[in-house]
Amino acid sequence: MKAMATPEILVRARNAFKMGEFPLVEKLALRILEDQADSAVAYNLLGSVCEKTGRFHKAIEMFRKAVELKPEYTEAHNNLGVLLKRIESYGEAIPHFERAINLSPQRGDVYYNLGNVYKALGNHELAEENFSKAIAVDPTFVPSYINLGTVLEAAGRFGDAIRVYQKG
């Protein structure tokens, strides 16, 4: 069998991930790391596989390694923030979402994720702000409308909530 170059391996790994072939993705990511021990992309892939297979603490370790190797890696910061939120380490998640937003302010999903952290913390003002920014950046992302509506409902702003639900 012909040896694949790292870019080919990466394409194959990403396709396998989309197909849910997580053991293959893990194998391919480790193969990339054999040649490029400092591949933030490979660590991010491994983190994603670990998340999908329920190994959350290992996923966090992999995402941390990715952002350590490539501090400007938006996706790894976002992924790390999502996992930290999932294990309720909200204070640790916030700076990763903020970093991801600073790197890629056009990513509505990151504002949405940060809004979810503030919602979980009961900070409705910052949750509302971030869900609103998510909608401004990506008006097609329906979950932002839903979560903004629930925050407005919790604040007793039922008319505003209804208007948001109708837009979404």
pLDDT in tens, 24-52: 999 999 999 999 999 999 999 999 999 99
Q: Model pTM?
A: 0.92
pLDDT at 166 over 60: yes
- Beta strand ranges found along the chain (DSSP E): none
3-state SS, residue 6: helix
Q: Which of 4-8, 20-24, 74-78, 147-151 has the lowest mean pLDDT?
A: 4-8
pLDDT at 160 over 80: yes
3-state SS, residue 102: helix
Q: Measured between alpha carbons, how far is residue 77 from residues 73, 97, 114, 126, 167 in Å?
A: 6, 6, 12, 20, 30
List, for residues 108-145, the tens digit of each pLDDT value: 999 999 999 999 999 999 999 999 999 999 999 999 99
Greatest CA separation for the chain: 64
Closest C-alpha among 45, 70, 78 to residue 59: 45
pLDDT at 12 over 90: yes
Count CB atoms within 10 A of the CB of residue 108: 21
pLDDT at 1 over 50: no
Confidence class for position 3, pLDDT limits 50, 70, 90: low
- Model pLDDT, residue 168: 84
- Model pLDDT, residue 5: 76
Summarize the confidence of residues 62-78 as an average pLDDT.
98
